[in-house]
């Protein structure tokens, strides 16, 4: 989980990231979730569909992927 957050814009704004870290942060789903959450908490950021839809899609994708891994682990543990 640390790497997912570290390779996102959680600690540094996207405009300040350089090189490979900027490219990884741009495709990291955690970045999209953070941008969706920021529009609700940071004054000056107006809620928009451009930030909401990618965040919701990233949340759904992470739920499916991580939920599947959790179910797989529970099935293996039950053997």
Q: Residue 25: which domain range?
A: 2-77
User: For residue 58, what are the contacts with CB-CB under 8 A and spacing of at least 6?
Assistant: 29, 30, 32, 33, 36
43-64 in b/e form (b: 16+ CB < 10 A) is eeeeeeeebeebbeebeeeeee
Q: Which residue has the tokens 């490219």?
A: 23
Query: What's the pLDDT tens digit per position in 32-77?
Result: 898 888 888 877 778 889 889 999 999 999 999 999 999 999 999 9
* Block residue for tokens 């540094």: 12
**pLDDT of 58:** 95
Q: If you count them, how many residues does the chain have?
A: 79
């Amino acid at each position: 989980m640390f790497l997912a957050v570290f390779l996102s814009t959680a600690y540094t704004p996207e405009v300040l990231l350089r090189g490979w870290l900027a490219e990884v942060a741009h495709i990291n789903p955690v970045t999209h979730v953070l941008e969706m959450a920021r529009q609700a908490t940071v004054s000056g950021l107006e809620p928009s569909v451009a930030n909401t839809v990618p965040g919701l899609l990233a949340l759904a994708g992470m739920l499916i992927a991580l939920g599947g891994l959790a179910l797989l682990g529970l099935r293996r543990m039950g053997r």
